[in-house]
Amino acid sequence: MHSYSTIQAIYSYVTKNREDGKRVGFVPTMGALHKGHLSLVQRAKKENDLVICSIFVNPTQFNEKSDLENYPSDFNRDKELLLSVDCDAVFFPSVNEMYPDEIKTEGTELGEIAVTMEGANRPGHFEGVVTIVRKLFKAVPADASYFGEKDYQQLAVIKHLVKSEQIPVKIVGCPIIREENGLAMSSRNERLSQMGKKKASLIYDQLKWIREHYFELSVSELIQAVEMSFDEHDEFNLEYLSIADENTLQPFEDRRTSNHPRAFIAVWLEGVRLIDNIGLQE
């Protein structure tokens, strides 16, 4: 597996391969890789001739300093994992490489999809994501780029970016990979205790419960019932639960408003913020 840490080196590698007729897939990550990331690499491997994974913990997308400081990282382990799925190259730039002048976001119009849920609860987060993803797409001009649906709203924001700035890359959304107990895989899960990981199954259980009862109860009844379940478990702190249209990302009250409903949740457990979502017509 090739390793590159400068934009110039990765850019030359990608453009040379594309000139040789190779189709290139790209998986941007912040490291602390897990099976969810590896599934993106595997999908990209199937659909392309070669695959590049980037590992960069992007400072501008953390709206809380402590979250950035506590973000797990183990580059050697990540490299081993990438080798195990036959990744062709890893791009791991320094902060100075990606932000040579100032560590700041670059203005962008994110659209209404970025205003709700994660956008409302993590001010500046999507501005940071878009800033780095735009830079990464310039450094790695791939044919297709792969993102997990766990960060469903992020995926929508990135699709919006690519469309509005006419970036020539295909964005592919990939299904959430879960632990056996249903907990959505996330780098942040590493910060949970064994007990926390067990208890966190409540999140997916509640999402499934919403899906099961979606056509029987009103949206507000569904939300109230789930809020009550979390209230009964002191260790959880529910940040938001929204039932929203998966295209507009706007929450709605009346089921008839949306043909593509999805439930979205953000919960705190043991000081760790966990997000998840589920399609309600699956």
- In the complex with ligand PAF, the residue whose CB is nearer, 121 or 229, is 121
Q: What is the 3-state secondary structure (H, E, C) of the chain?
A: CEEECCHHHHHHHHHHHHHCCCCEEEEEECCCCCHHHHHHHHHHHHHCCEEEEEECCCHHHCCCHHHHHCCCCCHHHHHHHHHHCCCCEEECCCHHHHCCCCCCCCCCCCCHHHCCCHHHHCCCHHHHHHHHHHHHHHHCCCCEEEEEHHHHHHHHHHHHHHHHCCCCCEEEEECCCECCCCCECCHHHHHCCHHHHHHCHHHHHHHHHHHHHCCCCCHHHHHHHHHHHHHCCCCEEEEEEEEEECCCCCECCCHHHCCCEEEEEEEEECCEEEEEEEECCC
Catalytic residue list contains 37: yes
CB of 36 to ligand PAF, least distance (A): 10
The reply on whether position 88 binds ligand PAF by CB under 6 A is: no
**Choices 27-35, 209-217, 221-229, 265-273 (CB under 6 A): range interacting with ligand PAF:** 27-35
CB of 18 to ligand PAF, least distance (A): 22
- In the complex with ligand PAF, the residue whose CB is nearer, 135 or 199, is 135
The reply on whether position 133 binds ligand PAF by CB under 6 A is: yes
The reply on whether position 132 binds ligand PAF by CB under 6 A is: yes
> Of these, 89, 129, 200, 203, which contacts ligand PAF (CB under 6 A)?
129
Residue among 34, 37, 125, 213 flagged as catalytic: 37
- In the complex with ligand PAF, the residue whose CB is nearer, 56 or 236, is 56
CB of 223 to ligand PAF, least distance (A): 27
Question: CA-CA distance, 282 to 278, in Å (whole number)?
Answer: 8
> Of these, 10, 30, 32, 203, which contacts ligand PAF (CB under 6 A)?
30
The reply on whether position 174 binds ligand PAF by CB under 6 A is: no
Could you tell me how many residues of this chain bind ligand PAF (CB under 6 A)? 10
CB of 187 to ligand PAF, least distance (A): 8
Which residues contact ligand PAF (rule: CB under 6 A)? 28-30, 58, 61, 129, 132-133, 151, 154
- Which residues are catalytic, by number? 37
